[in-house]
Structure 1
Amino acid sequence: MTTRVGTIGALWRYPVKSMLGEELPAADITARGLDGDRTHALLDTETGKVASAKNPRLWRNLLTLSASATGDGGVRITGPDGADVSHDDLSQVVGRPVALATEPPSKAVIDRANPNEVLDSGIEVEVGLHAIELPPGTFFDYSTLHLLTTATLDRIGKLSPRGSVEVQRYRPNLVIDTSEEGFVENAWIGRELAIGPQLRLRVAVPTPRCAIPTLAHGRLPRDLDALRVPAQHNRLEPLPGMGLHPCAGVHAEVLVPGRIAKGDPVLLE
């Protein structure tokens, strides 16, 4: 049975891992994900690890920078004031010796801080780290495409003391506008989505949330409830043996590539 569950409300890509991204009116989705997404990352030249704000003590300043694709395979990076940041100045801005890379190292690794310890201790304190090996040849954490519904955002917002939460905190590629309520993506696991005339996706796993939603994003201040609410109301086990994690959104695999645009219908099959 095929059911229309919503429409594409927004498309986002993040040309440099852990930097702020750019919203697009339309995009090509390939087996590698949304065109131009996570094509670059910063490498810590001392450790060889990929820089990720999942370890906020070292890398939270990445979220003060914005990245956009230049169309020739490059990226433009700007600071909070909108001024360009040269690649040579990135080390000074983020406070660590880094190099901008387009090719991940063999067995690329990021450090993920324990999100509960970050909530309890803050972003200045050393907390437990878990090394995550990225999928070969990519700068992605788990899969090439991340989906989030307005229903989940509304649910988190209503449960938050502020009464709202910003989509940018969760860094989705596709935002699906839906009239349904609650954490509706949970029921899509293992099913397929048809979007626009060609794109077909398989919803793979819930998205386990790290400390990133709690951090300042550009001019958005810190918001601990962006993680506390999923931790209290939507704890799931993404994969057998992982244990329960706060989740919001889902990861998806591309079955049939295609071009999609804002407003395209989203069908659950």
Structure 2
Amino acid sequence: MNRVLDLRRHPLKSAAPEHVADAFIGKHGLDGDRTWTCLDADGTIGSAKQPRLWSRLLDVAAAFDPAQGEVTVAVPGRTPARAGTPEADDAVSTWLGRPVRLTRQPPQQLKRHHWWPDEPGMIPDWATGKEPGGDDVVAARHDAEGGRFFDYGALHLVTTGALERLSAEHGSAVDPARFRPNLVLDLPADPEPGQRITIGADVVLEVAIPTPRCVIPSLAHGDAPADRALLKTLAAHHRIDVPDFGRATCFGFYADIRAVGTVAVGDAVTVTG
């Protein structure tokens, strides 16, 4: 039976995922997902897409309490603290080595730093004029109605079939944590754009587009060490045409939410359309 294998949320953008047994998926995504971000002194928000500045954020844990609507952050070696307090700001600032502030409110000019990978094929067609290995400041996105700091879609998914294929191409097992999904589905392959995914009794998703990849999959994620060669594998085998955008190296997919409800690990998954 096809099913939900894993369920993850990221209460703090670019921090480590929180593995949960069940969660509510509303019209803006997984409850509590990417509701907080780090604000740097230059006014940009935190994203590990510029690892020189933000890769250490991947080791910061964040947990969402649905009952209280609060997020707790835990920096290695420090006592957990509630996001929005001076204690949390100080812990994350000390860990990163510069002053930052955790916030739910986007700055007026919402931007982030982005490092363009120097591996051939990792820059998408629509990023015209970008230099491999270059640092850039780009516009960031915020879902004002839902209060989410998303790069593109509200829900990101990967499948076991695609992961198995990638692992065979790469010559070693690839941890799904490298792609920061919300759901890992036990399916033989990724569904196509336009197909619908029913999860459990209530939730219905519609596949939107494949997910363009950046440098993040090659960084260290918890027990998964840095793997620069993974970008070469992705570029060699997963550069495709993204409808309405152009060619890009992709893995996983974004989905739109057509019907809301609670999902749980082990829920049945059905693909139609």
Partner of 2:111: 109
Mapped partners of 2:246, 2:35: distance in 1: 31
Equivalent residues in 2 for 1:153-232, closer than 5 Å: 153-161=163-171, 163-178=172-187, 180=188, 184-185=189-190, 187-232=191-236
In structure 1, give the amino acid aligned to 2:140.
E
Within 1, Cα distance between the matches of 2:169 and 2:137? Answer: 29
Residues 77-100 of structure 1 deviation map (CA, whole Å, 9 limit, x = unaligned): 223457536412221211232110
- Structure 2 counterpart of 1:70, one-letter code: D
Count of aligned pairs between the two proteins: 253
Structure 2 unmatched ranges of 5 or more: 82-86, 123-131
User: Which of 31, 36, 40 does residue 35 from structure 1 map onto?
Assistant: 31
Amino acid of the structure 2 residue aligned with 1:265:
A
Question: Residues 52-63 of structure 1 correspond to what in structure 2 (within 5 A)?
Answer: 52-63=47-58
1:77 to 65, 73, 85: 73
Equivalent of residue 266 in structure 2, options 255, 263, 268: 263
**Partner Cα distance (2:197, 2:215) in 1:** 29
Q: Cα distance, 1:30 vs. partner? A: 0.3
- Who is 1:12 aligned against? 8
Does structure 1 retain, via aligned residues, the 8 Å contact 2:113–2:135? no
Contact 1:107/1:134 (<8 A) preserved: no
Using structure 1 for the length normalisation, give the TM-score: 0.86
Matched letter for residue 169 of structure 1: R
Q: In structure 2, do the counterparts of structure 1 residues 129 and 13 end up closer, same or farther at CA, with 3 Å as the change threshold? A: same
Counterpart in the other structure of 2:96: 94
**Deviations 1:102-155, CA, capped at 9 Å, x for gaps:** 1222352223221235999xxxx9623251330442301001100100111111
8 Å contact from structure 1 (residues 33, 254) kept in 2: yes
Structure 2 Cα separation of the partners of residues 12 and 66 of structure 1: 12
CA distances 1:28-75 after superposition (whole Å, capped 9, x unpaired): 10011001111111011x221111001111111101211111342222
Moved more, 49-58 or 65-74: 65-74
Describe the shift of the 1:49–1:117 C-alpha distance in structure 2 as closer, same or farther (beyond 3 A).
Answer: farther
Consecutive unaligned residues in structure 1, runs of 5 or more: none
Alignment partner of 2:173: what SS? Answer: coil
Say what the alpha-carbon RMSD is for the aligned residues: 2.3
Structure-to-structure mapping, 1:143-162, within 5 angstroms:
143-161=153-171
Does residue 49 in structure 1 map to residue 53 in structure 2? no
Amino acid at match of 2:224: L
